[in-house]
Amino acid sequence: MKKRGFLATAVCSALVLLTSCLGETTNSQRLSGMPGVVYTGDALSGSKTLVDIGSFPIYSATLESGGLLPGDCVVTSFEVDYSSAENATASTQGYYNVSFSSCEKIDNSNMRSMSLPTDTTMLLTGELPINNSVEGMYMHSYIRGYQFLWPSINLQKNQTAEMQLYVDMNKIEACDEEEGLNCYSVFLRAVEVNKPTADDKTLTLMPWAFNIQAYVDRVNSIEKNEDNDYYLIRVYFIKEIKDDKPVWDYKTLQMQTVKD
């Protein structure tokens, strides 16, 4: 059985009580750029439209009128006051009331399913290198079947690219071991859609939501059978194209095994 302290749990716990610069304790917090998935709550929540951000569900009346639908992926910024009267029953109602400063839907074109595996020794037509497959503190969350990634890529003026996450569902096995945890591999690749109209380059950071539920369920089953608490997913990406050949790198996501 492989166990490891889970940093995200500690971070979420620490955020519940924040201390100001003056040393005063407050029961509120502001969070920005949090990915989430819209869903309909159960009867205890009054079947409200909620956003699951991974650590806890959140609600605002503006969600009901914002045109968001269950299954939509969003990026949110909000403030939550844990000591407010409306949040006194959060543990029983199943969500926290928040005040949104923004709740933006991720465009459908940036929501993708898994793609079939490709030859990792060869470039795809129009392939572009990726600076980093995972960016930011909150920007690699797995929520309700969606893996959120914020890949960064240098694009020229009017140049656009699409991302695909390639997974071999017929060969799901640990490829390595890192810090005592099993590692599994997925491959993030970028392909040019629109050609540039100028040479200047800008580092572009855009959220993508990949539905990898089937993949994670299979890996989770393997890890559960081995009674492991956590495992790692390596997100491989082409950091450089050299002599028309891909140069691969990877960033690691830590996943918690679901044992219920």
CB 55 within 8 A of CB 159: no
- Tell me which of 105, 139, 155 is where a domain ends: 105
pLDDT at 199: 80
Q: What's 169's DSSP letter?
A: T
Per the DSSP assignment, residues forming a β-bridge with 3 are none
The residue that leads in pLDDT, 67 or 25, is 67
Let me know whether 71 and 92 are in one domain.
yes
pLDDT at 246 over 50: yes
Number of domains in the chain: 2
Let me know whether 23 and 133 are in one domain.
no
CB 60 within 8 A of CB 99: yes
Q: Please give the residue range of the domain that contains residue 61.
A: 7-105
Q: What is the pTM of this model?
A: 0.85
pLDDT band at 136 (very low <50, low <70, confident <90, very high): low
- CATH of residue 249's domain is 2.60.40.3220
pLDDT at 30: 93
CB 45 within 8 A of CB 93: yes
Q: Enumerate residues 6+ apart whose C-beta is below 8 A from 108.
A: none
Let me know whether 98 and 117 are in one domain.
no
- On whether residue 1 sits in a domain, the answer given is no
Q: Which range (197-206, 211-220, 240-249) has the least confidence?
A: 197-206
**Mean predicted confidence (pLDDT) in 149-159:** 89
Let me know whether 153 and 250 are in one domain.
yes
Tell me whether residue 192 is exposed, middle or buried, using C-beta atoms within 10 angstroms of its C-beta: 0 to 12, 13 to 18, 19 or more: middle
Residue 188 corresponds to which amino acid?
L
- Tell me which of 83, 105, 127 is where a domain ends: 105
Residues 159-191 pLDDT 10s: 889 999 999 888 888 888 888 999 999 999 999
- On whether residue 250 sits in a domain, the answer given is yes
Which residue do the tokens 């299979």 mark?
A: 218
Let me know whether 124 and 159 are in one domain.
yes
